Structure 1
Amino acid sequence: MSIDTNNNLIFHYLLRDTLCYLTLTEQSYPKRLAFLYLEEIADAFLESLANDHGDRWREAVDTTARPYAFIKFEQVIQRKRKDFIDPTSRQNTTKLNEDLADIQSIMRTNINEVLNRGEKLENVSNISNNLVAESKKFKWGAKKLSWQAMVNQYAPIVVMVVFVLFVLYMKFFW
């Protein structure tokens, strides 16, 4: 995140692994380059901590009592600061272009995933429409089968009753 101080200076900070990395730049300094600087500082600091303390580096940071316990890392910070001091340098321009290329690649991947999801949603929609049509056919078939079952069950009885009534009618009314 960046915090504007209203006097042409901006604080940029990065939180990573419960540690806060902070830098102060002029307002004209590119934000993305400031964050690239903080990311490089964070990577180098975490690597230094891992080299010095192994897997227990978090404990070393949590239990540090002295204000300047990690002062030996100052040399690395100064080297990185020199690398990033001129935002128009070829090296920094290259870093920004690489970062933009990475972001562009990620965005392309995201767009492709969204398009694939759209195609998948369209397939699901087609399948659901097919299911609705098939269920209507099934409903009609089920009604037809139910009617046929009822006819098969009661038709012989009805035919027998009609026959008996016909015979009785013929016997008594003819």
Structure 2
Amino acid sequence: MVTLTMIARVEDGLPLAASMQEDEQSGRDLQQYQNQAKQLFRKLNAQSPSRCTLEAGDMAFHYLIEQGVCYLALCEASFPKKTVFAYLEDLQTEFHDQYGRRVPTVSRPYSFIEFDTYIQKTKKSYIDSRARRNLGSINTELHDVQRIMVANIEEVLQRGEALSALDTKASNLSSLSKKYRSDAKYLNTRSTYAKVAAGAVFFITLIVYVRFWWL
């Protein structure tokens, strides 16, 4: 289930709205997770990946950034990623419709705290088992969750490294992977040509030898 939802302005990390679901059975300290979320908001910038999952033990932060606003949810690591990002996209659409024009002008934290009412209602609909079963049919345009960058929240916060740097590293790894595949394909092609050439030389040599023998 989603235990914490927070919305913040990317430019300066200012929290705009939040909703917390107390979970007395698990004994989790949600205040600690909330503090981590605030630290994360301060590390975001225009170059940060627009969608990211940050692992936090048996929990995970998931966020998406749209039009200068970050929408973040904390839930159990086993909770379906597709469901979480569909939930966040739903929040983004409604929040932008209601407050999009006012976001750049506010200076007080949690200026849109009344948005909690919509968050609570939307969260219930996505937690409902029937809604989750039908999610595939109603979210056909949802981004491929397999491409969402995954990192560890503790490593990101302890290193003091901007998420844009992680995105750059991920892009570099992707480029290196593509280069490796390209080089491997080139070497395989050369190997094939070498085998064909060797076979051709052997065949020609055989023909010359046979003709010489019969002559």
TM-score by length of structure 2 reads 0.40
Where is the helix percentage greater, Structure 1 or Structure 2? 1
Greater Rg over alpha carbons, structure: 1
What TM-score do you get using the length of structure 1 for normalisation? Answer: 0.49
Q: Which has the higher contact order (CA 8 A, sep 6+)?
A: 2
